[in-house]
Amino acid sequence: MDDHLYAVIMAGGIGSRLWPRSRNHTPKQFLDLLGPQTMLQETVQRIEPLVPLSRLFVVVSQDHAQRVVEQVPGLPAENLLVEPCRRNTAPCIGLAATVLRRRDPAAVMAALPADHYIADGAGFCRAIEAAVQMAADDYLVTLGITPNQPHTGYGYIQRGVLLSQVGELAVFRVRRFTEKPDAATAQQFIDSGEYYWNAGIFVWRAQTILAEMARWAPALAEELQAVSEAWNTPRRAQVLAAAWSRAPKVSIDYAVMEKATQVAVLPVDIGWDDIGNWATLSRLLSKDERDNLVHGGGRTVLLDTAGTYVYTTGKRLVATAGVQDLVIIDTPTALLVCHKAEAQAVKEIVERLEADGLKEYL
Amino acid sequence: MDDHLYAVIMAGGIGSRLWPRSRNHTPKQFLDLLGPQTMLQETVQRIEPLVPLSRLFVVVSQDHAQRVVEQVPGLPAENLLVEPCRRNTAPCIGLAATVLRRRDPAAVMAALPADHYIADGAGFCRAIEAAVQMAADDYLVTLGITPNQPHTGYGYIQRGVLLSQVGELAVFRVRRFTEKPDAATAQQFIDSGEYYWNAGIFVWRAQTILAEMARWAPALAEELQAVSEAWNTPRRAQVLAAAWSRAPKVSIDYAVMEKATQVAVLPVDIGWDDIGNWATLSRLLSKDERDNLVHGGGRTVLLDTAGTYVYTTGKRLVATAGVQDLVIIDTPTALLVCHKAEAQAVKEIVERLEADGLKEYL
């Protein structure tokens, strides 16, 4: 264990593609989507071999702070960083880095999304350890997921020259970040063998990322400086609220990673999935001989049904007949019936509900 | 109006193919499936030009007598015939004929299922009037529905010689009844032009049907005789219960119609449908430009959805994406998601629930 390694779990997402289970009051990362543990709890457990709770931080928005307290018992109160409002990843990471630098000028932080699935936890930890070595040389290190299909929903990272070999793991300089490409471009990326998916898992020294923010995102850095100065004073909440009201809604990729020069990618093949929608979730789970999967506690009767994922709770019965490749998510206030091929469209349903002001279903 | 014409509405069905709306406590005929009125109410209204409430009878099982009282205000109490238990159509019709004959020895009864749809109400009334003329000559008259497809779920009636012409309506002797045929046979029936669907709509003198029952179903006739003798005595309930505990569970078709000789069929083309399942129900209703139909009071969001019938109540939202030709019936205790082509399988779902003793969903 590296005593200067800190984990920062980013739990601010909303997961609208997993509606109607993922809701405003309980987004994706707080749900037991894959097993008895919530995504947040799995994320905490995954990094625990390297980072004890005393060095684990969770960044969350005001609305969901209580969920973290409930789901991560033993988390020190000072390690719960509450954002006054949601502001994408750059301010989130900036806040964590600011707090860490105050606590430990030599802090190395691993920034981890709270809502990802990783099959190979040991491989993940080995990758983080290798990344920590690179971070010591002031690299901004990002894990690059070895792609297995030309997915158009992810950002891609092109590798450059080999920087280092840490055991079996290679680390490359990053040549270029590309946001969600079209299908043809994605296929070219895959064929070239030089591209990785950007999973938003980063390792760097707190000092390094703050220095890069000062250079590439000076407005944000200025707000963070004010927050840092007020942190151990009675003015903390007030200054943080003011800073966040002004902070730009911008991703760390756009604000820093695409601009910085000292950026490294560490390719990994660790069974990563962001569980982007119901179809990808159901792919990860074991099914019966007809490729059906039933979750939740409710009763079901499936007749002549194949490839279908059913989630149902409580006393409601769900019966199906003659259907294929559907997702049926039955919650007390809303029901989703969706073809797996259209699982991405769930986000659009949520947008419609928002546009119509139907908050009770969000 | 013929003062000796009585309507007998048979409201004892269960309609399991319309589960989960049709339930043990509220079967199909008591539901507003097609519009603001229930099927029973529509049946009453349809015959009202010929038969006032004073000559209208409803036969119903004990469980649902209260539903009839609620849905047919003004029905004289003595016109509500309550069966102690369900016993198919022969005992039901026998009971009604017995009561009618006591009241009016010249009674002609029109036996009408409570759960059928008929588009052409005026045509229906004209057919009943023509049938009444034939019944005067002691014929057992059945309406024959002109088939528009080789349906394998109905019984077929083959016509024989022309007996009479009543205005535009022809009446034929019945040559043969055939229970649900296979597809090839059904196609032959259609091609021949000699066959009609048996809709279970009958007209006869009460005297005639009771005489035929005495001949072809003597055990039942004996029970009915006992009921008749006890009808206006304090022993009515007791005798009826005893008779019904022994009465055979048999259809009027099997018990009498297939055996009697003086049987006539009156072909009609009146937009008849027995609303056998959710797919046939949705065919009867008007839809939007994508062939979708939403019923019930709940909210819906349909994305990239076609040919789909959604029923939803209350506060629950139903959202769909990328689905076609589905039936989605969302009730407070049970949900059905079914391909329209498999709508008949709903009966099988109900049978499974029965086999598993899950009464709360029946």
CB–CB contact B321 A315 (8 Å): no
Provide the pLDDT for residue B316.
87
Q: To 10 degrees, what angle do helices B206-216 and B218-230 make?
A: 130
User: How far from each other are the two terminal CA atoms of chain A, in whole angstroms?
Assistant: 42
In the DSSP assignment, the letter for residue A235 is: T
**Taking the mean position of all CA atoms in its chain, how far away is CA B205?**
20
CB–CB contact B20 A312 (8 Å): no
Q: Is B355 on the interface with A (CB under 8 A)?
A: no
Given its phi and psi angles, is residue B192 left (phi above 0), alpha (psi -120 to 50 degrees) or beta?
A: alpha
Question: Residue B127: what residue type?
Answer: A
Encode pLDDT of B136-186 as tens digits.
999 999 999 999 999 998 999 999 999 999 889 999 999 999 999 999 999
Task: For residue A332, give both structure tokens.
Answer: 């007390």
Q: Is B303 on the interface with A (CB under 8 A)?
A: yes
CA B268, B269, B275: angle at the middle one, nearest 5?
Answer: 105
Q: How far apart are CA B153 and CA B181, in angstroms?
A: 8
Q: Contacts of residue A319 in chain B, CB cutoff 8 Å? A: 20, 334-338, 346, 349
Instruction: Assess whether pLDDT exceeds 70 at residue B83.
Output: yes
Question: Comparing C-alpha atoms, which of B77, B84, B40, B81 is closest to residue B62?
Answer: B84
Q: Domains plus CATH for chain A?
A: 5-273 (3.90.550.10), 278-361 (no CATH)
**Taking the mean position of all CA atoms in its chain, how far away is CA A68?**
15
Tell me the percentage of chain B whose pLDDT exceeds 90.
Answer: 93
Q: How far apart are CA A13 and CA A10, in angstroms?
A: 8
Strand-pairing partners, residue B198, are B144
Provide the pLDDT for residue B287.
87
Question: Comparing C-alpha atoms, which of B48, B45, B54, B62 is closest to residue B11?
Answer: B62
In the DSSP assignment, the letter for residue A2 is: -
Instruction: Assess whether pLDDT exceeds 70 at residue B1.
Output: no
CB–CB contact A337 B319 (8 Å): yes
Q: Is B338 on the interface with A (CB under 8 A)?
A: yes
Instruction: Assess whether pLDDT exceeds 80 at residue B202.
Output: yes
Q: To 10 degrees, what angle do helices A121-135 and A39-47 make?
A: 60
Q: How far apart are CA B317 and CA A352, in angstroms?
A: 12
- Residue in B closest to A343 by C-alpha: B321
What is the pLDDT of chain B when averaged over all its residues? 95
Among the residues of B273-325, which ranges form H helices? 278-284
CA B328, B329, B333: angle at the middle one, nearest 5?
Answer: 135
Instruction: Assess whether pLDDT exceeds 90 at residue B298.
Output: no
User: How far from each other are the two terminal CA atoms of chain B, in whole angstroms?
Assistant: 42
CB–CB contact A338 B321 (8 Å): yes
Q: Is A337 on the interface with B (CB under 8 A)?
A: yes
Q: Quickly tell me which residue has 């019923």 as its tokens.
A: B295
Q: Contacts of residue B318 in chain A, CB cutoff 8 Å? A: 334-335, 337
Q: Contacts of residue A345 in chain B, CB cutoff 8 Å? A: 303-304, 321-322
- Residue in A closest to B335 by C-alpha: A318
Q: Is A306 on the interface with B (CB under 8 A)?
A: no
Q: How far apart are CA A197 and CA A157, in angstroms?
A: 6
Q: To 10 degrees, what angle do helices B121-135 and B39-47 make?
A: 60
Q: What is the mean pLDDT of residues B299-310?
A: 96
Q: Is A274 on the interface with B (CB under 8 A)?
A: no
Q: Provide the shortest C-alpha distance from residue A158 to chain B (in Å).
A: 34
Strand order in the sheet with B334-339: A299-303, A317-321, B334-339, B326-330, B309-312, B293-295
In 10 A of CB A332, how many CB atoms? 11
Task: For residue A198, give both structure tokens.
Answer: 């950007």
CB–CB contact B20 A319 (8 Å): yes
Q: Contacts of residue A296 in chain B, CB cutoff 8 Å? A: none
Strand-pairing partners, residue A327, are A309, A338
Question: Comparing C-alpha atoms, which of B201, B153, B196, B149 is closest to residue B175?
Answer: B196
**Maximum alpha-carbon separation in chain B:** 65
Encode pLDDT of B242-255 as tens digits.
999 999 999 999 99
Provide the pLDDT for residue A1.
64
- Give the residue ranges of chain A where pLDDT is below 50: none
ipTM here: 0.87
In the DSSP assignment, the letter for residue A292 is: -
Kindly report the pTM of this predicted structure.
0.89
Q: Provide the shortest C-alpha distance from residue B229 to chain A (in Å).
A: 48
Q: What is the mean pLDDT of residues B124-142?
A: 97
At A13, give phi and psi (nearest 5°).
-75, 175
Instruction: Assess whether pLDDT exceeds 80 at residue B82.
Output: yes
CB–CB contact B319 A333 (8 Å): no
